[in-house]
Amino acid sequence: MRAGVLALLAASGALADGDAWSPPAAAQPSGLQINGYADIGFAAAQGNGTSFAPGDTRIPADYGTDPFATAVNSRGDVASTDPGGRFVNGFLPRSMNIGGAPSAFLSTFDVDLKYVPAALPLLLFGRVQFLPRYGGSGNETRVVVEQAFARISPFASQEFALSVGKFDSVFGIEYLENEANLRTNITPSLIARYTTGQSLGVKAFYRVQIPGIWSAISLNAAATNGGTLVETLSPPDLSLSGRPIGSARLGYELNLPAFQLKIGGSGEYGTRNDQRGVAVRQWLLGADLRVVFGGLSLSAEGVKIQQDPGAADKSNGLGPFTLVSAFAARGAYGTLAYALPLSDGAFRRLTPYLRYEQRHAQFEGFPAYTVDRLTLGFRLELWDVLIVKAEGLLNGEVSGLPQVDNDVFTSSFVYSF
Amino acid sequence: MDQGSSVAAFAALAIAACTSSPPRPAGELRNMFDLVEGAQASEPDASAAVTIRGQPLRWLSPPYGPSQQLQQGDRDGLVVQPAFADARPAAYATSEVWDGFPRVWAQPLYVPVSGFDPLGKPIRVPDTEWIFGLGAGSRFYSPWWQTWFVTVPAGYDVEKLHSAEAVVSSGLPLTQGPLRYAAIGPREIEVAHPDGQPPVHPFTGDVLLTRLSQQGWADGQLIWFVDFGADRFRVNASLVVQEVALFRLALPGADGTPQAMDVPAIVGTGPLGTPRAADAPDGFPRFGALRHEYYALITPAPGQPVPGVFVSASRPELRAQLIAQLGAQMVPLPSDAAERLPEREQYTLRVAQDGGCFALTDFPNSCVWFDTQQSIEGNLPSTAFVDLKRFSSGALLFFDGATP
C-alpha cells in the first residue's frame, strides 16, 4: 500500500514538474530517445497586430503600452512589434510579423534528444527548436538550443537531482507549460515574460514525500546567467554582469486520490542581465496555486518584479538598446479548465478553458498602467499525438494607457512524435 | 608563472571580478530641476548653467564686466553663455545635460485648438494649457517637442485632457504642428539677468528676450516650463534630434589631459566632421540646440605660432586673469588698429591660431580664428578632438545680431 502511495505521489509529481524531476535514470532503459513536436498555427489580430496606439508618439514606444499582448503562439510571439518607425527600447517579445493580416505559420518544430547511460544515475538532454519566420529582412528563421543539460540523481533513495546546463525556469508554475504540446491553452499569460525563460547555470531539485498526510514538499533552486525572464528581456546565454541570478521555488503538494492541491512560493534576486552594472539589481516574488478535482483544474499565479535603473548600456536578446530604465510590475492570472473525456477513438478529450489576468506596470518616468485580458478557448486531443487548440484573447486597457484594438484569435495544431 | 604567483593572480582576478565593472555609458540626464539643485550645491557643471537667485552673474561681473551684477533676487537664472557660431558672436543657455546618451529624441506636445483660421493658423482653445507627452522625471524626457494640435469640439470638457494618454484615448483629431523647444523645470527660473534689467549678451551688450515660465500639463500633473520657441531644431524620421558639435578649446595639462581654456565655446553647424552651412533662415538659428561636446585640444609646438586669445587692453582685469592662466604669450596686446575697431568686442575671448595676427594692420582678417567648426576641424589634427560623451541642450539666445 505504502509503495503504491509513493508511486502515485511520484507519478503525479513527475507529471506536474516534468522538467524538475524524473524517475531515477538508472531505472530507465539506456539509449538515445528522439522526441519532439510541431506547432502549426493560424491567427488573426485586430488593427496592425501590435499594441501601439495610433496617435501615441511618445518615445520609447514600448514603454507606454504592452507589446506582449497580441500573442499568437505558445512561445509568446506576437502578431507584430512594428512600431512604425518610432524608437523602442527593447521591452518587446519576438514577432511572427503577420501584422493585421490573418496568416498560417509554423511556430515551432521541436526535436528533443534524451540519452540515459545504462547503470548511471544520469540523464543528458537537449532540445533544439527550428523557428521558421519571415520578416522585414526576408527569411528570419532561427534555430534555438532551448535546453541542453546534464542531470544527475546521485541518491537512489532520495528525490534529489542536480542539473548543469541550460534548462527551464524554477519560478512559479507556468514554465511547466512552455512547450505547445504540454500547454493546455495556446498563449502564455501576461506575466509569463517574467517567469518562464530558460537560462544557463546550475539547478538543484529536492522533494521529500510525507506519505502519512499524502503530501510532499519540494525545493527547486537555480543560479543562472539570465534568471527567469524570457530571452528577449534577459539574455540567458551569457552573463553580461558577471554575476549569477538566484531563483527558487518552495512547494507543497497534497495528492489525494481524487483531489490534488499544489501551492508554492517563488523568489529571485540578482543583477539585471540586460546590462553590465554589477549593482543594478532585480528581484521577483511569486505565489502559485493549482487545484485538480476530477476533470476540473484551476491554476493561478501572481508575480511582482522590481528592477533598478542602470546606465545606458541596455542589451538583450533583441540586440543593443539604450537606457536601462527602472521598472516595476505586478500581475496575476487564473485559469479554469475542464477536461471532458470523449471516447477511446479519435476524439479523446475536449478541454474548454478560460483565463483572466491583469498586469500593472511602470517604467521609470512614465505613467503606470494596467492591462487585463480574458482568454477563452478549447483544446481537443486526437488519438495521443494530435492536438487542436483555438482561443480568443480579449485585451483590455484598464488605466494609464490609450485604448487600442488588439484582440487576437489564434489557433494551434500540434503533433508530437 | 610559479604556483604562488598563479594563486595570487587567480585571487586578484577573482577579487577584480567581484568588485570591478567595466566603464559604461552613464545614461545620466540632468534636467532644469537637477541643474538648479546642482547649482545650489556649487556643482561646477550646474553652476555654469544656472545662477542661483541673488548670486553674481559670472559673465557680467569682473573680470568680464565692470562691476558685480547679481541675478534677480526672486528667481534663478539660466546663464547666458557667450559663444561663437559660424564666425559670429552667439550665446546660448543650457537647460539639460545628458552624459553617456547615444542620442536624444523629440516627444509629443499637444495643444488644444478649436480649429484653424483660413490661413491654416491654429485657433487656441481659451484657458487651456499645453499638454506635454512626458514629464521631466523620465530619462527619455527632452525639451524637444513635436507639436500636435488637438481639435476640440465645442462643449468638450477640456479638463479631461491633462495627459498624453487622455489625448490619444480621446480620439480627437490630431494635426501635426511645428517642432518646439520648451524646457520643463521649476516655476521660478528664466534667462539670467540682473534685477530690473533684461538679459544681455555679455560682450556685445545686445538685449536678449526674456523667457518667463509658463504652466502646462504632463502625466496629469501641473508643470512649469520655459518656452524657447518653435522651429529651433531639426529631427530625422525617427524623431532623433539632430546634434551639432560644440568645441571647448583646451590645452594639454601637465599630465597630458585636456584642460579647458576659460574662453567661450564654439557651436558647430553639424555633427563632428560634418560641418554644414549655418541653418538660420532669416537669421533665426535652427541649429545649436542640441550640442555634442568635445574638447578641441590646442597643442602649441616649439617653433610654431602661438595661439592667442583676443582681449582688448580696455579689459585689464580680464587680461590679467587670462595671463595668469595661460601665460602672457597667449594673450598678446592688440594693435591700436584693432583697438579702434567698432566691432572690437565681438572678438573678445576669440582664439586665433596665431596670436601674432592681433598686431597686424589688417586685423581681424589677418587671423585664422578658431570660431567655426570648419576652421577648428580644418586646422587641428583629428587627434585633437576628445569626445566628452556629453550632450547639452539650450537654444541659441543670440546669433549674428539676432535674438531669437
Predicted pLDDT at B401: 84
Find out whether B189 and B32 touch, Cβ atoms under 8 Å: yes
Predicted pLDDT at A5: 35
* Exposed / middle / buried, residue A182 (Cβ in 10 Å: 0-12, 13-18, 19+): middle
**Judged by CB atoms within 8 Å, which residues 294-333 of A form the interface with B?**
309-313, 322-325
Find out whether B126 and B153 touch, Cβ atoms under 8 Å: no
Give the minimum alpha-carbon distance from B240 to chain A in angstroms, rounded to a whole number: 9
Predicted pLDDT at B395: 85
Rounded alpha-carbon distances, angstroms, from residue B292 to A35, B63, B266: 57, 29, 11
- Flag the least confident range among A4-18, A19-33, A255-269, B350-364: A4-18
- Flag the least confident range among A370-379, B265-274, B336-345: B336-345
Predicted pLDDT at A28: 52
Predicted pLDDT at B9: 53
Average pLDDT over residues B223-249: 94
Predicted pLDDT at B283: 80
Pull the grid cell for residue A207.
522533494
Predicted pLDDT at B5: 56
Average pLDDT over residues B27-56: 96
Q: Could you list the residue range(s) of the whole structural domain that residue A127 is in?
A: 2-416
Q: Which is more confident, B189 or B302?
A: B189
Report how far apart the first and last C-alpha atoms of chain B are (Å, whole number).
68
Residue type, B287: F
Contact B174 A55 (CB under 8 A): yes
The alpha carbons of chain B give a radius of gyration, in whole angstroms, of: 24
* CATH number for position A128: 2.40.160.10
Contacts of A323 in chain B (CB under 8 A): 27, 101, 139-140
pLDDT at A33 over 50: yes
- Cell numbers 512547494 correspond to what residue? A251
Question: Which of B24, B100, B238 is facing A276, going by the closest CB pair?
Answer: B24
Question: Which of A323, A365, A400 is facing B27, going by the closest CB pair?
Answer: A323
Distance, CA of B89 to CA of A339 (rounded, Å): 80
Distance, CA of B185 to CA of B362 (rounded, Å): 47
Contact A364 B137 (CB under 8 A): yes
**Judged by CB atoms within 8 Å, which residues 84-113 of B form the interface with A?**
100-103, 105-108
Distance, CA of B232 to CA of B404 (rounded, Å): 9
Phi, psi at residue B318, to the nearest 5°?
Answer: -65, -40
Contact A311 B239 (CB under 8 A): no
Highest mean pLDDT among A217-226, B209-218, B353-362: A217-226
Pull the grid cell for residue A205.
531539485
Q: How confident is the model at residue A230 (pLDDT cuts 50, 70, 90)?
A: very high
Q: Residue B33: helix, strand or coil by DSSP?
A: helix
Query: What is the edge-to-edge ordering of all strands in the sheet holding B189-191?
Result: B50-51, B76-78, B189-191
pLDDT at A7 over 60: no
pLDDT at A3 over 50: no
Q: Which of B140, B236, B239, B240 should one mutate to test binding to chain A, selecting the residue with the greatest count of A CBs within 10 A?
A: B140
ipTM of the complex: 0.84
Contact A58 B141 (CB under 8 A): no
- Characterize the bridge pairing of strands B81-85 and B265-267: parallel
Q: Residue B317: helix, strand or coil by DSSP?
A: helix
What pLDDT digit, counting tens, does each position of B101-140 carry? 989 999 999 999 999 999 999 999 999 999 999 999 999 9
Q: Please state, rounded to an integer, the average pLDDT across all residues of chain B.
A: 91
Give the minimum alpha-carbon distance from A162 to chain B in angstroms, rounded to a whole number: 25
Average pLDDT over residues A123-139: 95
- Whether omega before A309 lies within 30 degrees of 0, making that bond cis, reads no
pLDDT at A6 over 60: no
Average pLDDT over residues A188-198: 98
Angle, vertex CA A351, rays to CA A345 and CA A353, nearest 5:
170
Predicted pLDDT at B282: 81
pLDDT at B96 over 80: yes
Question: Which of B17, B103, B134 is facing A58, going by the closest CB pair?
Answer: B134
Q: Is B13 on the interface with A (CB under 8 A)?
A: no
Contact B164 A366 (CB under 8 A): no
Predicted pLDDT at B24: 65
Question: Which of B26, B138, B168 is facing A55, going by the closest CB pair?
Answer: B168
| Number of domains present in the structure of chain A | 1
Distance, CA of A247 to CA of A223 (rounded, Å): 6
pLDDT at A1 over 80: no
What pLDDT digit, counting tens, does each position of B169-188 carry? 999 999 999 999 999 999 99
For B103, name the nearest residue in chain A, comparing CA atoms only. Answer: A322
Q: Is A140 on the interface with B (CB under 8 A)?
A: no
pLDDT at A41 over 90: yes
What pLDDT digit, counting tens, does each position of A58-94 carry? 999 999 999 999 999 999 999 999 999 999 999 999 9
Predicted pLDDT at B304: 87
**Judged by CB atoms within 8 Å, which residues 221-260 of A form the interface with B?**
241-242
In chain B, what percentage of residues exceed pLDDT 70?
94
Pull the grid cell for residue A400.
494609464
Assign residue B19 a region: left if phi > 0, alpha if psi is -120 to 50, beta otherwise? alpha
Contact B140 A310 (CB under 8 A): no
Pull the grid cell for residue A114.
534524451
Contact A312 B102 (CB under 8 A): yes
Q: Is A192 on the interface with B (CB under 8 A)?
A: no
Give the minimum alpha-carbon distance from B253 to chain A in angstroms, rounded to a whole number: 30
List, as one string, the DSSP characters of B342-397: TTGGGGTT-EES-GGGGGSTTTTTT--BS-SHHHHHHHS-GGGEEEEEEEEE--EE
Count of A–B CB contacts within 8 Å? 101
Q: How confident is the model at residue A118 (pLDDT cuts 50, 70, 90)?
A: confident
Contact B107 A58 (CB under 8 A): yes
Distance, CA of B344 to CA of B203 (rounded, Å): 10
Predicted pLDDT at A264: 98
CB atoms within 10 A of CB A24: 18
Predicted pLDDT at B6: 55
Q: Please state, rounded to an integer, the average pLDDT across all residues of chain A.
A: 92
